[in-house]
């Protein structure tokens, strides 16, 4: 029996499981390893941060999906990889073998230590959830009236969306308190991947939200000390294990893949989404992980069957639609040089985004398996913010 090992609960691995639900492959054992049974869809995370969605509404239930696909689900994280022996080692110490391995583990962030300010990296999302829920509880119990400063580090879409979403949520929690915002980026421009019109619209939205923008600025202890909360949304980084994993990697540590989404050094390994990198790097955007799905499904089936001529090519689309959530029930559209935003149009764009996102998640809904009592606990531990002498969260 062949063994297919899916590491990571990403959008692309979800499509492999969905394909197995619809068309099981005989003679194949499927094992899924992920740190959480619930996998947040990145496109809906800003809506969750702002309070539009409950966390469960923005998640793919990977446990239910795996069970419906006849797969075994293990709550754990990848610690190391021996691709020559086809063995992975998990954080728990367990070792797993495979015939075909699919890595869809995303990327991470490694912010530097900055005073004692509460710092929330936007990746991994499971840990973000724990820290954000804890902060919201702290805010609800906090009777303080001193101004509260939220600082986002990173001038891309993630930083802008997260900052606007968090400001909206915190202001709703404490309507009588002054909640301020600032955005700090080392870049010389805001949202460099968006159309100029979309950037201008985003600037206006940030200004209306009372956000001060600091371009070409490095985060430092002075800025950190002036902040009550720091949202870390800088560029994606490779996981530490990737650099010494035995696979060919890029200078940044991401796994090098070919047009079939296979490791260029070990064809039994597929890597997709943020953890992978082409010879000509793609932006680290969830849209690519979603669109890699059909190619990965085809190629995994071909690889398991030993059909080298059955491998398909993934052809990335360089221009794609971006719908930037602005935290106020509106969105900004950008594609290539085209953009759209406005009082009425912004609301319509948000509703369109909501429809697209819900439709995507609906693809992975499966009938209840009846074994919820066997659902394992997540690896992620609760993150408690420290407190200063005056009782404020830091």
Range of the domain at 221: 118-235
Q: Is residue 97 part of a domain?
A: yes
Mean pLDDT of 175-193: 94
pLDDT band at 7 (very low <50, low <70, confident <90, very high): very high
Residue where a domain stops, chosen among 235, 267, 295: 235
Cα 2 to Cα 8: distance, rounded to the nearest angstrom: 19
Q: Is residue 271 part of a domain?
A: yes
Same domain? For 212 and 268 the reply is no
Same domain? For 230 and 271 the reply is no
**Is the distance from CB of 121 to CB of 139 less than 8 angstroms?**
no
By percentage, how much of the chain surpasses pLDDT 90?
70
Cα 53 to Cα 381: distance, rounded to the nearest angstrom: 22
Handedness of CA 220, 223, 229, 235 (dihedral sign): negative
Same domain? For 104 and 244 the reply is yes
Whichever domain contains 274, its CATH number is 3.50.50.60
Choice between 361 and 278, residue whose per-residue pLDDT is larger: 361
**pLDDT of amino acid 386:** 40
Q: What is the pLDDT of residues 376-393, one digit of tens each?
A: 777 654 444 444 333 444
Mean pLDDT of 345-352: 96
Residue where a domain stops, chosen among 183, 209, 235: 235
Q: Is residue 241 part of a domain?
A: yes
Q: Tell me how many helices (H) and strands (E) the chain has.
A: 9, 20
Whether residue 83 has pLDDT greater than 80: yes
Same domain? For 100 and 123 the reply is no
Same domain? For 195 and 137 the reply is yes
Give the lowest-confidence range in 61-65, 203-207, 228-232, 284-288: 284-288
**pLDDT of amino acid 380:** 59
Same domain? For 126 and 231 the reply is yes
Same domain? For 138 and 223 the reply is yes
Cα 23 to Cα 254: distance, rounded to the nearest angstrom: 32
- In terms of Cα–Cα distance, which of 325, 294, 236 is closest to 16? 294
Q: Is residue 139 part of a domain?
A: yes
Q: Is residue 151 part of a domain?
A: yes
Same domain? For 188 and 220 the reply is yes
Q: How crowded is residue 344: how many other Cβ atoms within 10 Å of its Cβ?
A: 8
**pTM for the model:** 0.89
**pLDDT of amino acid 290:** 86
Number of residues assigned to the chain: 394
Same domain? For 287 and 199 the reply is no
Whether residue 269 has pLDDT greater than 90: yes
Q: Is residue 84 part of a domain?
A: yes
Q: Is residue 32 part of a domain?
A: yes
Total number of domains constituting the chain: 2
What tokens appear for 185 in the block? Answer: 């980026």
Same domain? For 204 and 268 the reply is no
Residue where a domain stops, chosen among 182, 216, 235: 235
Same domain? For 28 and 97 the reply is yes
Mean pLDDT of 283-294: 79
Q: What are phi and psi of 182, to 5 degrees?
A: -145, 150
Q: Is residue 382 part of a domain?
A: no
Q: What is the pLDDT of residues 100-148, one digit of tens each?
A: 999 999 998 888 877 677 889 988 777 788 889 888 988 877 767 889 9
As a whole number, the mean pLDDT across the chain is: 89
Cα of 234 vs its chain's centroid, Å: 13
Q: What is the pLDDT of residues 148-157, one digit of tens each?
A: 999 999 999 9
Same domain? For 260 and 273 the reply is yes
Beta strands in the chain (DSSP E): 2-7, 28-34, 38-40, 59-61, 72-75, 78-82, 87-90, 95-97, 100-103, 118-121, 148-153, 179-184, 211-214, 229-232, 255-256, 269-271, 276-277, 322-325, 331-335, 338-340
């Amino acid at each position: 029996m062949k063994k297919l090992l899916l590491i990571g609960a990403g959008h692309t691995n979800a499509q492999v499981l969905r394909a197995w639900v619809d068309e099981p492959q005989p003679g194949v054992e499927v094992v899924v390893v992920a740190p959480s049974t619930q996998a947040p869809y990145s496109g809906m995370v800003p809506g969750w941060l702002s309070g539009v969605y409950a966390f469960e509404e923005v998640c793919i239930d990977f446990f239910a999906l795996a069970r419906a696909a006849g797969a075994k689900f293990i709550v754990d994280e990848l610690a190391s990889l021996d691709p020559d022996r086809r063995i992975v080692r998990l954080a728990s110490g367990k070792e797993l073998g495979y015939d075909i391995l699919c890595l869809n583990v995303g990327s991470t962030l490694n912010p530097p230590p900055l005073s004692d300010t509460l710092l929330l990296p936007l990746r991994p999302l499971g840990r973000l959830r724990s820290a954000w829920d804890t902060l919201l509880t702290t805010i609800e119990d906090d009777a303080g009236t001193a101004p509260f400063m939220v600082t986002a580090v990173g001038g891309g879409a993630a930083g802008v969306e997260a900052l606007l979403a968090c400001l909206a949520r915190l202001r709703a929690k404490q309507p009588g308190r002054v909640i301020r915002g600032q955005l700090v980026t080392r870049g010389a421009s805001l949202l460099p991947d968006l159309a100029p019109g979309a950037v201008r619209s985003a600037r206006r939205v940030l200004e209306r939200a009372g956000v001060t923008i600091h371009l070409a600025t490095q985060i430092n202890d002075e800025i950190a000390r002036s902040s009550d909360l720091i949202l870390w949304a800088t560029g994606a980084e490779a996981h530490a294990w990737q650099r010494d994993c035995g696979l060919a990697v890029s200078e940044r540590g991401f796994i090098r893949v070919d047009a079939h989404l296979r490791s260029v050094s070990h064809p039994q390994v597929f890597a997709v989404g943020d953890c992978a990198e082409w010879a000509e790097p793609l932006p680290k955007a969830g849209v690519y992980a979603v669109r890699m799905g059909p190619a990965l499904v085809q190629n995994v089936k071909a690889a398991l069957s030993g059909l080298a001529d059955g491998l398909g090519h993934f052809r990335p689309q360089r221009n794609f639609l971006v719908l930037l959530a602005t935290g106020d029930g509106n969105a900004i559209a950008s594609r290539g040089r085209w953009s759209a935003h406005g009082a009425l149009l912004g609301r319509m764009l948000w509703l369109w985004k909501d429809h697209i996102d819900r439709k995507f998640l609906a693809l992975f809904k499966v009938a209840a398996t009846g074994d919820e009592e066997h659902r394992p606990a997540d690896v992620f531990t609760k993150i408690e913010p420290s407190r200063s002498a005056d009782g404020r969260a830091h």
